[in-house]
Chain A
C-alpha cells in the first residue's frame, strides 16, 4: 500500500486559550519548527484560501508554537480562528521577518519594548527566549484586563498604560509615559502594534534624540 504523504506545514490545534472575551492564543505543537523570537508566521485554516500573518507569542525553547489573536468581530479570518477546536488543522508557513533581537547586544544593552494591544506578542517571545535580557515592556491597552499574561513579567519591568480605565500604572496613552521617562542613550527600542501608535512613539523617541537605527518597528495591519 502506498504511504500517504502528510503535508508538513499542517498543524493540529492543541488549545485555544481564552485571555479576554475578544483575545485568545492559539497553541500548536512545536514539531520541528525553528524560529527566532520576534518573527512571524503565516497562518491558514484548512479548506480556506485566505491566510494572515501573526507574530509568534511563544519562546524559542517552549514546547508549543503559540500566536496571540484579537478577534475582529466583523473580520473574515480571526472569527474563524476563534472557532477552532483542538484537533482542527491549520497551515503554518514561515518563519518570516527580521524583527529580532541583536544577540550581540543582549549582554550590555537595555531593551525597551513598546506595544499596543496584541503587539505585545513578539516581546513575550523575546522575554521567554532571553531570560537574561535587561528589558522594560511599555504596554498600551484600553482596559487593564487586556494586559495579556502580565504575571509572567517582573512587575518592575512591566508598565501598563490604560486609556479606558485607571487600572494601569499610567492612565493615558503610552506616549505620555514615553515623554516623561528618561532612557539610557544606547537603549534599543522595539515598537510593535498599530501604525498610529508606532508613528506617535517614533516621533517621541526621535524628539528625545534617539537614532532611527536604535528604533525597530513592526506594524500590525
Chain B
C-alpha cells in the first residue's frame, strides 16, 4: 500500500505535506517517489502563479488515464482557488482543505460512498479556518533531521491586489503559542539546527485572538528564552512578515537572543509609492525605510532578503527606477524577483496587464544586475572571516559539502564532509561570488593553534 505525494509552492505547503505524510503513514501507507507503483496519488496545489496550477491539471490528466488499467485514488489539497476547486471536484476523487486533514483516513476508507448531506452544503466563498487547529495537532513526519518548518499561523487578511491567498487559505488564524513552543522544544531536543516559523503574515501573529494570545514579538521572546536555557545552538527564522505590522519590538527581540537568526526576509514588492498603493500593500516607503533603519541600527550584522515584483500594472519606467533606487539604498543580500503575471482570483486579474512581457524581462534583468553588485560587495567583505555554517548538502558537480550561514548565505566547502551533514561548524571564507561563497573547514586543531 503505497502513496505518492507531489508538493508544489511555498514552505507552507511543504510543512503541510509533512503532516499529510504523517496521516497516511499512520494508516499503513508507505511513501514512494515512483508514482507508477503507488495506489494513492496526491497533490498539494499552489495558486500563487499559473504554472503550478497548470502542472496540477497536467498531472491529474495523466493519473486519470492510468485509471483505465489500475485501481487508484487521487486527492488534492493545498492552496486552491474556488474556481479551480469547481473543476478539481470533477477530476480528483478527493478534495479537502488542510483544516480537514484529520478526516482524510475516513475519506479514503469511505471513498465511493456518496454523502448526500455534503452535496447540499453550500460551498463557502472563503475557506473556513475554524478547524485549522486540528491540522496543527497532527505530528508531522519531518523530511529533514536538522531543518524543520513550524507553522504558527494560517491564512491572510491583507488582500494585496496581486495575490489570491486570502481566497485559498482564508482568514488569518494563529496557532496556540503553547503548541508552537512544544514543537520547537521537541525539535531542539531532537537536534534540529534550523527552525523556520511559518505563516502568510507571521508578524500579525496573535492579532486574531484579540488579546488572548501573545504578540509575535512576545512569541519570539519566549522562543529566545527557551534557546537561552536549552544551551543548544540552533537558529530560528520566520517567513514571511508584512511591513505593515513589523514593529521595532520584533527587531529588538531578535537582537537580544542568540537563537533568533540574524536574517530577516522583508517583502518590499516595489520601491514606488504609487505601485505600492495599487498593490494595496497598506504601507508607505517611509515605513519600509524606517524598518530597515531599525534593523541596521539594532542588528547591524543581519542579512536582509526581500521579494520584488517587476512589471506590475501601472509600473512605468519612473516607478521601476524607484525600485532600483530602493535596491541601491537597502542593499539586499537576496531579492526574489518575479515578473508580474495576473493570477485568476486576485483583484489585479481584472485589470489590463499593461506592461509588455519584453519590458518585464528587461526590468527583471536590470534589477538582477543591480542586486548582483550589492550581493557581491557584501560577500567580498566576508573573505578572510570565519563564519558558523550549517552543513546541508553536497554540490551536484563536485560532491563537496555545502551549507548556509546564519544569514542564509550559500557557502561551498573545499571538501566532501558527509559526516558533518546537519551540524554547525566554523568555516573560513576564502572566496566570494555573486550569490555564494567558498570556504574551508576550520578544524578544532587549527582553532587551538590560532
Question: Which 8 residue pairs are nearest across A and B when measured between Cβ atoms?
Answer: A44-B125, A49-B82, A51-B125, A212-B286, A212-B284, A96-B157, A221-B347, A93-B126
Q: Which A residues lie within 8 Å of B244 (CB)?
A: 98
User: How far does the alpha carbon of A45 sit from the alpha carbon of B82 in the complex, in Å?
Assistant: 13
User: Are B280 and A221 in contact, CB atoms less than 8 angstroms apart?
Assistant: yes
- Chain A residue nearest in CB terms to B280: A219
Q: Mark B323-353, 1 if CB is under 8 A from A, else 0.
A: 0000000000000000000000001101100
Over the window 4-45 of chain B, the binary record of Cβ atoms lying under 8 Å from chain A Cβ atoms (1 yes, 0 no) is 000000000000000000000000000000000000000000
For chain A, residues 39 to 80, give those with C-beta under 8 angstroms from any C-beta of chain B: 42, 44-51, 53
Cα A118 to Cα B157 with chains together (Å): 22
Residue of A nearest to B279 (CB): A219
Known: A53-B159, A97-B282, A202-B277. 13 other contacts (CB 8 A): A42-B125, A47-B122, A47-B123, A48-B125, A49-B123, A89-B122, A91-B126, A93-B125, A93-B170, A195-B314, A212-B287, A213-B286, A219-B277
A74 to B351, CA, bound (A): 13
User: Roughly how many angstroms separate A48 CA and B82 CA in the complex, as a whole number?
Assistant: 9
* Partner pick for B125 among A50, A97, A98, A99, CB 8 A cutoff: A50
Closest to A49 in B: B82
Contacts of B124 in A (CB 8 A): 7, 9, 44, 91
Q: B286 near A221 (CB under 8 angstroms)?
A: no
A177 within 8 A of B: no
Q: Are A195 and B277 in contact (CB under 8 A)?
A: yes
Task: Return 19 A-B CB contacts under 8 Å, by A number.
Answer: A7-B122, A10-B122, A42-B166, A47-B122, A48-B125, A49-B83, A49-B125, A50-B82, A93-B125, A93-B171, A97-B157, A99-B282, A195-B277, A212-B284, A217-B277, A217-B282, A219-B277, A221-B348, A221-B350
- When C-beta atoms are compared, the residue in chain A nearest to B345 turns out to be A50
Cross-chain pair count, CB within 8 angstroms: 69
- From 155 to 210 in chain B, residues with beta carbon under 8 angstroms from any chain A beta carbon are 157, 159, 161, 166-167, 170-171
- Complex-state Cα separation, A100 to B171, whole angstroms: 19
| Binary A-proximity of B106-128 (CB < 8 A = 1, otherwise 0) | 00000000000000001111100
> Closest B-chain residue to A10, C-beta based?
B122
Cβ-defined partner of B278 (8 Å) among A48, A195, A212? A195
What residues on B are CB-neighbors of A221 within 8 Å? 161, 278, 280, 347-348, 350-351
- Would you call B274 an interface residue if the criterion is a C-beta within 8 Å of the partner chain's C-beta atoms? yes
CB under 8 Å from chain B, chain A span 168-221: 195, 198-199, 202, 211-213, 217, 219, 221
Interface residues on B, range: 20 to 34
Interface residues of B (CB under 8 A from A): 82-83, 85-86, 122-126, 157, 159, 161, 166-167, 170-171, 244, 273-274, 277-278, 280, 282, 284, 286-287, 314, 347-348, 350-351
Known: A93-B171, A213-B286, A219-B278. A51 touches B126 (CB 8 A): yes
Chain B residues with CB under 8 Å of A49's CB are 82-83, 85-86, 123, 125
Size class of A's contact patch?
Answer: 20 to 34
Q: Which residues of B contact A217 (CB under 8 A)?
A: 277, 282
Bound complex: CA A99 to CA B284 (Å): 14
User: Which A residues touch B170, using CB under 8 A?
Assistant: 93
Interchain nearest-CB distance for B268 vs A (Å): 16
CB-defined contacts of A195 to chain B, threshold 8 Å: 274, 277-278, 314
With both beta carbons as reference points, the residue of chain A lying nearest to B81 in the complex is identified as: A49
In the assembled complex, the Cα of A185 lies from the Cα of B44 at a distance in Å of 53
Residues of B within 8 A of A97 (CB): 157, 282
Q: How far is the CA of A217 from the CA of B280 in the complex (A)?
A: 9
Q: How far is the CB of B163 from chain A (nearest CB, A)?
A: 12
Are B280 and A91 in contact (CB-based, < 8 A)?
A: no
Collect the chain A residues with CB atoms within 8 Å of residue B348's CB. 221
Is B83 in contact with A44, judged by CB distance below 8 angstroms? Answer: no
Residue ID in chain B nearest A75 by CB atoms: B350
